[in-house]
Amino acid sequence: MSVNLADGLDAGIRALGLGLGPDQQKRLLDYVALIQKWNKVYNLTALRDPADMLTHHLLDSLTAVAPLTRHTQGRAVRLLDVGSGGGLPGVVLAICMPELDVTCVDTVAKKAAFVQQVAVSLKLPNLRGLHARVESLTDPYAVICSRAFASLPDFVTWSRSALADDGVWMAMKGKYPQDEIDALPADVNVFHVEPLTVPGLDVERCMVWMKPTDSAAQS
């Protein structure tokens, strides 16, 4: 089974055009193993089949790596993953992009504790789990991301106090969320929406990039 999982991950990584080394691939597989191990205790995911975890969790999260890399251009930036649960996509991003400083925030203490456990087990000094409500955070993050977390208006409203001056929001969504985009606050600008293709999954996915409107630039 683990061999099939490794082959599936390798094929998915190649399909996504990512240059991940053997160590990174091993960490991703070890992460799935940790999810399986702790799932009963922490209730991290409804999925039980490792093959499903590979496509629906790992590969789905890996679709964020290339767009985020294009945005950060290799810069060391602080990233906040909101409503991270068991660390998706935050843990995956921390493994694939060691230059990032990733904080995974969740209101469920057990899930934040699990991310801390992953950081220690996989030796990821650039990852931490935080038990908090995102509305309470005021430390500045250059990128605030979420995956299947909340509506876009709620996401940007709740996390705004944690967005750095030049920061952006990166929301991983399913179908193109026109209704949610229409409902965004007037001072939030959607500057890019890109379709995402998950290897092995025939589903619609997209990434919505947003930032506060620069009123000075508008005038």
Q: What is the CATH number of the domain that holds 25?
A: 3.40.50.150
- Decide the pairing of beta strands 163-173 and 141-147: parallel
Q: What domain count does the chain have?
A: 1
Q: Is the CB of residue 95 less than 8 Å from the CB of residue 77? A: no
pLDDT for the residue numbered 96: 98
Is the pLDDT confidence value at 70 over 50? yes
Q: What is the pLDDT, as a whole number, of residue 42?
A: 73
- Does the structure show a pLDDT above 90 at 123? yes
H/E element holding 92?
helix 90-96
Q: What is the per-residue pLDDT for 56?
A: 82
Q: What average pLDDT does the structure give for the chain? A: 92
pLDDT given for residue 90 in this prediction: 97
pLDDT digits (tens, 9 = 90+) for 130-140: 999 999 999 99
Q: Average of pLDDT values for 28-46?
A: 83
Q: What residues make up the domain containing 88?
A: 2-218
